[in-house]
Structure 1
Amino acid sequence: MQNLLKNGIAITGSGSAVPSTSLENEVLTQLVETSDEWITTRTGIRQRQLALPPESLTILATDASKQAITAAGITAADIDLILLATSTPDDLFGSACRIQAELDATKAVAFDLTAACSGFLFGLVTAAQFIRTGVYQNVLLIGADILSRWVDWQDRRTCVLFGDGAGAVILQANNSDRLLGFSLKSDGTQNHHLNLAYEGTTQQVTPDIHVPRGTYHPISMNGKEVYRFAVQKVPEVIDKALFEAHLTVDRIDWLILHQANQRIINAVADRLNIPDHKVISNVAHYGNTSAASIPLALDEAVRQGKIKPNDIIATSGFGAGLSWGAAIFQWAR
Structure 2
Amino acid sequence: MSNINAIITGVAGYVPDYVLNNEELSRMVDTNDEWITTRTGIKERRILTEEGLGTSYMARKAAKLLMKKTGADPDSIDAVIVATTTPDYPHPSTASIVLGKLGLKNAFAFDFAAACCGFMYAFDVACNMIQSGRHKRIIVIGADKMSAITDYRDRATCPLFGDGAGAVMVEGTTEEGIGLIDSYHRTDGKGLPFLHVKAGGSVCPSSRFTVDHRLHYTYQEGRTVFRYAVTAMGDDCAALLEGNGLTQNDIDYVVCHQANLRIIEAVAKRIGVPMEKVLVNIQRYGNTSAACMPLVLWDFESQLKKGDNIIFTAFGAGFVNGASYYKWAYDGDSAAVKK
Using structure 1 for the length normalisation, give the TM-score: 0.91
- Residue 249 of structure 1: CA displacement? 2.2
Residues 241-300 of structure 1: CA deviation (Å, up to 9, x unaligned): 223433222111111100010001111111111112211100001000000000001111
Equivalent-residue separation in structure 1 for 2:72 and 2:327 (angstroms):
20
Residue 131 of structure 1 is matched in structure 2 by 130
Residue 266 of structure 1 is matched in structure 2 by 265
Equivalent-residue separation in structure 2 for 1:76 and 1:9 (angstroms):
19
Equivalent-residue separation in structure 1 for 2:49 and 2:182 (angstroms):
38
- For residues 184-333 of structure 1, what are the structure 2 equivalents within 5 Å? 184-198=185-199, 199-200=204-205, 217-302=216-301, 305-332=302-329
Equivalent-residue separation in structure 1 for 2:247 and 2:134 (angstroms):
32
Amino acid at match of 1:181: D
- Residue 5 of structure 1: CA displacement? 3.5
Report the 3-state secondary structure (helix = DSSP H, G, I; strand = E; otherwise coil) of the residue aligned with 2:205.
Answer: strand
Does the Cα contact within 8 Å between 2:7 and 2:127 map onto a contact in 1?
Answer: no
1:76 to 56, 74, 77: 74
Equivalent-residue separation in structure 2 for 1:190 and 1:90 (angstroms):
25
Report the 3-state secondary structure (helix = DSSP H, G, I; strand = E; otherwise coil) of the residue aligned with 1:159.
Answer: coil
Q: Which structure has the highest strand share of the two?
A: 1
Does the Cα contact within 8 Å between 2:95 and 2:110 map onto a contact in 1?
Answer: yes
- Residue 61 of structure 1: CA displacement? 0.7
Does the Cα contact within 8 Å between 1:61 and 1:168 map onto a contact in 2?
Answer: yes
Report the 3-state secondary structure (helix = DSSP H, G, I; strand = E; otherwise coil) of the residue aligned with 2:304.
Answer: coil
How high is the sequence identity, in percent, across the aligned residues? 37
Structure 2 gap segments, 5+ residues each? 209-213, 331-339
Report the 3-state secondary structure (helix = DSSP H, G, I; strand = E; otherwise coil) of the residue aligned with 2:303.
Answer: coil
Does the Cα contact within 8 Å between 1:259 and 1:282 map onto a contact in 2?
Answer: yes
Q: Provide closer, same or farther for how the CA distance between residues 43 and 12 of structure 1 changes in structure 2, counting only shifts above 3 A.
A: same
Equivalent-residue separation in structure 2 for 1:151 and 1:30 (angstroms):
16
Q: Provide closer, same or farther for how the CA distance between residues 111 and 277 of structure 1 changes in structure 2, counting only shifts above 3 A.
A: same
Residue 43 of structure 2 is matched in structure 1 by 46
Amino acid at match of 1:56: G
1:90 to 77, 88, 91: 88
- Residue 202 of structure 1: CA displacement? 6.2
- Residue 6 of structure 1: CA displacement? 5.0
Residues 59-92 of structure 1: CA deviation (Å, up to 9, x unaligned): 2111111222333342222111111000001122
Are 2:64 and 1:66 aligned? yes
Structure 1 gap segments, 5+ residues each? 204-214
Residues 36-61 of structure 1: CA deviation (Å, up to 9, x unaligned): 00000000000000011244321211
Report the 3-state secondary structure (helix = DSSP H, G, I; strand = E; otherwise coil) of the residue aligned with 1:19.
Answer: coil
Q: Provide closer, same or farther for how the CA distance between residues 243 and 137 of structure 1 changes in structure 2, counting only shifts above 3 A.
A: farther
Q: Provide closer, same or farther for how the CA distance between residues 312 and 201 of structure 1 changes in structure 2, counting only shifts above 3 A.
A: closer
Amino acid at match of 1:15: A
Are 2:171 and 1:172 aligned? yes
Indicate the larger mover: 128-137 or 53-62: 53-62
Q: Provide closer, same or farther for how the CA distance between residues 244 and 56 of structure 1 changes in structure 2, counting only shifts above 3 A.
A: same
Report the 3-state secondary structure (helix = DSSP H, G, I; strand = E; otherwise coil) of the residue aligned with 2:237.
Answer: helix
Q: Provide closer, same or farther for how the CA distance between residues 249 and 75 of structure 1 changes in structure 2, counting only shifts above 3 A.
A: farther
Residues 226-251 of structure 1: CA deviation (Å, up to 9, x unaligned): 11011111011112222343322211
Equivalent-residue separation in structure 2 for 1:322 and 1:202 (angstroms):
28
Q: Provide closer, same or farther for how the CA distance between residues 80 and 244 of structure 1 changes in structure 2, counting only shifts above 3 A.
A: farther
Equivalent-residue separation in structure 1 for 2:37 and 2:198 (angstroms):
28
Detail structure 1 runs of 4+ shifted over 6 Å in the superposition. none
Does the Cα contact within 8 Å between 2:232 and 2:322 map onto a contact in 1?
Answer: no
Residue 117 of structure 1 is matched in structure 2 by 116
- Residue 200 of structure 1: CA displacement? 3.0
Q: Provide closer, same or farther for how the CA distance between residues 69 and 239 of structure 1 changes in structure 2, counting only shifts above 3 A.
A: farther
Report the 3-state secondary structure (helix = DSSP H, G, I; strand = E; otherwise coil) of the residue aligned with 1:200.
Answer: coil
Residue 183 of structure 2 is matched in structure 1 by 182
Indicate the larger mover: 307-316 or 320-329: 307-316
